[in-house]
Structure 1
Amino acid sequence: MRKKAPHKITLFLLFLTAISVFTIPACSSKSLWLQSDRMNSTTGQAEQSSPAQKPAATKVVSHALGQAEIPLHPQRIVVLDGSFLLDPLLAIGIKPVGAATCPYCIKSDTLNQFVADIPLVGHWEQPSLEKILSLKPDLIVGHIWQKQYYTLLSAIAPTVMIDTDSEVDFKKNLKYLAAILDRSDRAEEILAEYNQRIQKFRQQLGEKLKTKTVSVLHLYGSDPTVHVYGSDFAPYGQVMIDAGIPLIPAYKKLKGYLEVSLEALPEWDADILFIDVLRETDSEKLKSLSFLKQPIWSTLKAVQNDRVYAVSWSSTVVGPITANQLIDDLYRYFANMSDLGLNHAPTLPGRQTP
């Protein structure tokens, strides 16, 4: 994005300020670090500070677009999405004062219990600068794909951008945010607990899973197309790899994502097939079963054995909180099943009853 002249930024901020003056069950994922009484509201912290206090101490941190000087202990954090960045912040005990939203994405019930009272600052593809300014943030956190807003956001508050274009690594995001916010010890505790739960899952179900294969297909778009995501591009993929879920061999070579033609569907067949949807509208299309009426669909092994299940992992498994929830889901899908036979009817995203 072309840089704006400093005087233009100043005029723009004055304009926004004027507006703001007038518009102001093997395991349970309910771990200690998820308890609401350990969640710090940065709003409350900031309200306790006095305008007469000395300027906060700062430090310089590196991020995807360079460096930024941020407060040592920021009190009013705004995140430019309500999932991939919000989840790790909540996990380390920080509740932002504002968050952008993905209005078309299926929402995570797990996160909803924590975020109901967090003010929204617009669409994550077009955040509202006016709303962000009115919240008086002392730190803004966004994605590198939102870099077109970086100059203006940086004029409001120190802004750091995380690279989620090349990979979506929930552990890396957690560690980075914890490091710049002086919560690294908490992040290590969270990952240690996650690893313990993963090892327990492997011990209990590893032998059963060795003889089976699993695949995940994505339906996406107004005329649903089929995609597959590599484990580097979806947090749920990281969890499944960690848990020893035997994904079909084709995933080993896959980086990023790939659109799959109908003719190539058999290459992604498996003993157990999950159909993942991102958007609410895609969920509605799945209800109509229009895509599933394609003749080639009935030739798939998972379809013939009635082992196809609808999920919404790509939009609801986004960080350590929801990763732990996925472990619970995997238990419900794979534990206590005769020969891993999934003897319940397929369910739709948002209504899983494994």
Structure 2
Amino acid sequence: MAASLFTGVANAEVKTITDVIGREVEVDLPAKRIVLGMYYEDFMAVGTAAAYDNVVGISKDVWAGWVPANWAMHVAARPSLDQIPDVGEVEAQNFSIEKVLSLKPDLVVLADWQYQGLGLDVDHIEEAGIPVIVVDYNAQTLERHLASTRLFGEITGQTERAEEIAAFYETALNDVAARVAKAGGPKPKVYVEFGNKGPAEHSFTYGKNMWGAMATAAGGDNIAAPFVEWWGPINPEQVLSAKPDAIFIAGRENNKSETALPMGQQVDAAEARAKLSAFAGRPGWSDLPAIKNGKLFGVYQGASRTLSDFAMVQFISKQLYPEAFADVDPVANYLGYYEKYLPVKPAGTFAISAAEG
């Protein structure tokens, strides 16, 4: 009894909670057998590493496949992660309802995009008496980030820690907004692209969510917003005619293209800068204000759709309003977040300028 007073985890209790898409779900909390679809670091930051003692299944490719260096870093710190059964991946259309049911979870947690992608298959899970909770960091809205964090607090019994992290995130975003408002003036035009295809082929840009929403939160005028709802390519001529003042290319560790932008865990800064600089050689880009003024930057794709993305918002803002953010070190803040809330220490290249070095 005495030990339980210091765990920070509440006793089991059936609660009705509302998820991020407004569904009221009755759940026995804190959950003891969880299938977790995404947002693995956010779940760990809120619930602590011990929360994975209660995870019986994951959509493994979303972590190990999308950000393998990040996955390897966590497995090195907690080898048992690699033993958690894989339930498949929604986008790859191999998510197995049968596998989920065989694990006998008392809760399934899905990202909003996973819930939407599974459609009527979710009914099979709920018909088996297993509640499904929807969370969402992909929208990159303050409202959904905070709501998802508090839901993780409810699920893991770490409500106080969830409130602390939610307050931390909200304070960081409000500080960005206040600095941008104080700086005033017209909003710089921003273009963001996923650099997974390299300079020769234009890849996805972002409209209302992910990097598009982050660029807007950072005080930028996202040139893709009128043309792209969520994510997708736009005509290269549109980029040229919009004349962006700053360009951000998002990169990751596991690229199929040799010319793609590498960013993230264990990525060498010199290699990242060299491949980032190659994007400036695209036809017509030399005439863009962003390229003329040395405003071509690389950012880490893995630092979107997560609580640590506040640091990427800070980085974008600092490039758009350098004087207003002169005392802000976004990369140090990114690493500081890990030091405070997660059991691993990233090392690599997470935000960079092509003009440096």
Q: TM class, shorter-chain normalised?
A: 0.5 to 0.7
Deviation string for 1:74-131 (max 9, x for gaps)?
12222112x3xx3443343253414213254246859955876432524422335576
The answer on 1:191 being equivalent to 2:175 is no
Tell me which amino acid in the other structure corresponds to 1:319. Answer: T
Contact preservation (8 Å) 1:219, 1:227: yes
CA distance in 2 between counterparts of 1:91 and 1:121 reads 21
- The residue identity in structure 1 corresponding to 2:192 is L
Q: Residue 192 of structure 2: which of 217, 223, 227 is its match?
A: 217
Q: Structure 1 residues 267 and 237, CA, compared in 2 at 3 Å: closer, same or farther?
A: same
Q: 2:46 matched to 1:92?
A: yes
Worse overlay, 208-217 or 92-101: 208-217
Query: Which segment is superposed worse, 197-206 or 187-196?
Result: 197-206
Q: Larger radius of gyration, structure 1 or 2?
A: 1
For normalisation by structure 1, the TM-score amounts to: 0.61
Distance across 1 between alignment mates of 2:119 and 2:254: 27
Cα distance in 1 for partners of 2:178, 2:221 equals: 18
Q: Deviations over 1:221-241 (max 9, x none)?
A: 7684333312x321x544444
Choose from 73, 76, 84 the match for 2:33.
Answer: 76
Q: 1:105–1:90: structure 2 CA closer, same or farther, 3 Å change rule?
A: same
Match of 2:306 in 1: 319
Q: Which residue of 2 aligns with 1:139?
A: 107
Match of 2:350 among 335, 344, 352: 352
Q: 1:178 to 1:156 in 2, by over 3 A?
A: farther
Counterpart code for 2:245: D
Correspondence for 2:247: 273
Partner of 2:66: 105
Alpha-carbon offset, residue 316 of structure 1: 2.7
TM-score of the pair, normalised by structure 2: 0.60
Distance 1:132 1:173, change over 3 A: farther
Q: Do 1:138 and 1:158's aligned partners in 2 also have CA atoms closer than 8 Å?
A: yes
What does residue range 120-131 of structure 1 map to in structure 2 within 5 Å? Answer: 121-125=86-90, 126-128=94-96
Alpha-carbon distance in 1 for matches of 2:227, 2:214: 18
Do the aligned residues in 2 keep the contact of 1:220 with 1:279 (CA within 8 Å)?
Answer: no
1:353 Cα deviation after fit? 5.2
Contact 1:77/1:138 (CA < 8 Å) preserved in 2? yes
Paired residue type of 2:202: T
What SS class does the counterpart of residue 121 from structure 1 fall into? coil
Q: How far has the Cα of 1:139 moved from its partner? A: 0.9
The alpha-carbon distance between structure 1 residues 217 and 226, as it changes in their structure 2 partners (threshold 3 A), is farther
Contact persistence 1:150–1:159 (CA under 8 A):
no
Q: How many residues align?
A: 288
Would you say 1:58 and 2:14 are equivalent positions?
Answer: yes
Query: CA shift at 1:272, angstroms?
Result: 1.7
Q: Distance in 1 between matches of 2:168 and 2:22?
A: 32
In the alignment, the residues of structure 1 paired with residue 190 and residue 256 of structure 2 have an alpha-carbon distance, to the nearest angstrom, of 19
Q: Secondary structure at the match of 1:311?
A: strand
Q: Which amino acid aligns with 1:261?
A: N
Aligned equivalents of 1:127, 1:39: Cα separation in 2: 34
After TM superposition, list the pairs within 5 Å mapping 1:159-308 onto structure 2.
159-162=131-134, 167=139, 169=141, 171-172=143-144, 174-176=146-148, 178-179=150-151, 181=155, 186-201=161-176, 210=185, 213-219=188-194, 224-230=201-207, 232-234=208-210, 236-242=211-217, 244-248=218-222, 251=225, 255-277=229-251, 280-281=254-255, 284-286=258-260, 293-308=281-296
CA–CA distance in structure 2, aligned partners of residues 198 and 168 of structure 1: 11
User: How much has 1:67 moved relative to structure 2?
Assistant: 5.6
Larger relative contact order (CA 8 Å, sep ≥ 6): 1
* Alpha carbons of structure 1 residues 278 and 225: separation in structure 2 relative to 1, 3 Å: farther
Q: How far apart in 2 are the matches of 1:332 and 1:316?
A: 16
Q: Deviations over 1:325-346 (max 9, x none)?
A: 4356457757877999xxxxxx
Task: Tell me which amino acid in the other structure corresponds to 2:95.
Answer: P
8 A contact 2:180–2:324 mirrored in 1: no
SS at match of 1:127: coil
* Distance of 1:338 and 1:174 partners within structure 2: 26
Return the offset for 1:187: 3.9
Tell me what 1:23 maps to: none
Shift of 1:260: 0.9
**One-letter code of the match for 1:74?**
A
State the secondary structure of the residue aligned to 2:248.
strand
Offset of residue 275 of structure 1: 1.2
What is the identity, as a one-letter code, of the residue corresponding to 1:194? Y
1:310 alignment counterpart = 298
Change in Cα spacing, 1:178 to 1:108, as seen in structure 2 (3 Å) is: farther
3-state DSSP of counterpart to 1:281? coil
Identify if the C-alpha distance between structure 1 residues 111 and 79 changes in structure 2 by more than 3 Å, giving closer, same or farther. Answer: farther
- Structure 2: gaps (5+ residues): 1-5, 262-274, 327-347, 353-357
Tell me how far apart the structure 2 counterparts of residues 352 and 186 of structure 1 sit (CA, whole Å): 26
Instruction: Could you list the structure 1 runs, at least 4 aligned residues long, displaced by more than 6 angstroms after superposition.
Output: 220-223, 288-291, 334-340
Contact residue 209 and residue 246 of structure 1 kept, 8 A: no
The C-alpha deviation readout for 1:236-268, integer Å capped at 9, x for no partner, is: 5444444x4233466478642352112111244
- With over 3 angstroms needed to count, the CA separation of the structure-2 counterparts of 1:73 and 1:89, relative to structure 1, is same
